Structure 1
Amino acid sequence: MNAWVLRGLVLAAVHVVIRTLLGFAIAQWPLQGSFLRWGMFLLVVIAALAWGFVDGRSDREAHPDPDDGDDLTMLWLKAGLLGAVVAGAVAWVVGKLPHFDLGDQGIFFELTSGAAWTTLLIFVPAMIGIAIGWYVVGRRRRKAESASEPARDTVSLEK
């Protein structure tokens, strides 16, 4: 299975599970809807951010030169698109089941506007996570290199 397919399907599952839990939670506590929406939103963002961080860190450890690294941008863009379309389709099907309230959006909305939002919800945090992962490994490598260098003698120019 391609790496982007795995990421897309897992994050689609995360998105659908969180939307389903959000639907149940809002039905139970309707006055807490804003808080619940933000909390569930953060869970999806954290999942993509964490996986992006792991990808960025492992890529920079495997390829110290930034020009030799993997193309993580396209990998995550494809994962975001796949995850968005799958999550939209599955959420629409789940929303049609009795006792599941995921909103009254139609399939057209789920596969266009909803999918665009979900793509960004996966792609942008993953890119931020990748950048942080690259930075952490690069910083650790620079510290290790500076610690292994011998101390230089300084020459005073004063007479």
Structure 2
Amino acid sequence: MAEHLVVPRSGSAAAAGRISTWRTITTALLPRALALTVLHVLARTGLAYAVAYWTPFSVAARWLALAVVVVAAAVWGAIDGHRHRARADRSARDLPVFWLGVAFVAAGLSGLVYGVLGQVSSIRTDGNAFVFEVTTGAAWIVLVIYVPAVVGVAIERRFGS
């Protein structure tokens, strides 16, 4: 990854490839990761309020919060799978690896944001400490985003029109 941070000499083919790869990562990965981060933080915040104020519906709220993030990742993965399948040059991007990167960035950011939010606000974070949110919570978020996205990619590649 450090090779992407090196400023290459102008005119070299390898340099152009690295710059192109870096642009692809920043223009494709970051919007997905940021959108899923915001969606996950909003879902968890809504869940915290539902558990605090609508206790009889807390189980349904948990499933709803999980479903919102899972469906969003699966639909976005399917859209990427459709675009990738329609493109003539399929070697341009390995979508499972790309979505793993999206999942790691989104998980790290949402764990960080929600951990800080739990420390500085009155939102009840189920007693989870900041370290838990950034480590174990982030690992769960990686799975919640990555698995549905890759399933969406696979379904669209296999059965899409």
Normalised TM-score (structure 1): 0.80
Counterpart residue number, 1:116: 139
For 1:51, the aligned partner's letter is W
Distance 2:120 2:134 in 1: 18
The answer to whether structure 1 residue 48 and structure 2 residue 70 are counterparts is: no
Structure 1 residue runs of 4 or more that deviate by more than 4 Å after TM superposition = none
Match 2:44 to one of 1, 13, 19: 19
Name the larger-Rg structure: 1
In 2: Cα distance, 1:19 partner to 1:61 partner: 35
In the TM superposition, residue 54 of structure 1 has moved relative to its aligned partner by 0.2
Report the 3-state secondary structure (helix = DSSP H, G, I; strand = E; otherwise coil) of the residue aligned with 1:112.
helix
Which amino acid counterpart does residue 61 of structure 1 have in structure 2?
A
Structure 2 unmatched runs, 5+: 1-25
Between the two proteins, the alignment pairs up a number of residues equal to 136
Give the structure 2 partner of residue 92 of structure 1.
115
- Give CA-to-partner distance per residue, 1:72-122, whole Å, 9 cap, x none: 111110110010010001001111233311221112111111110000000
Runs of 5+ unmatched residues, structure 1 = 141-159
Higher relative contact order (CA 8 A, sep 6+): 1
Q: CA RMSD in A?
A: 1.5
My pick for the range that moved more, 99-108 or 113-122, is 99-108
Cα distance in structure 1, aligned partners of 2:103 and 2:31: 11
Q: Which of 58, 69, 74 is residue 33 of structure 1 equivalent to?
A: 58
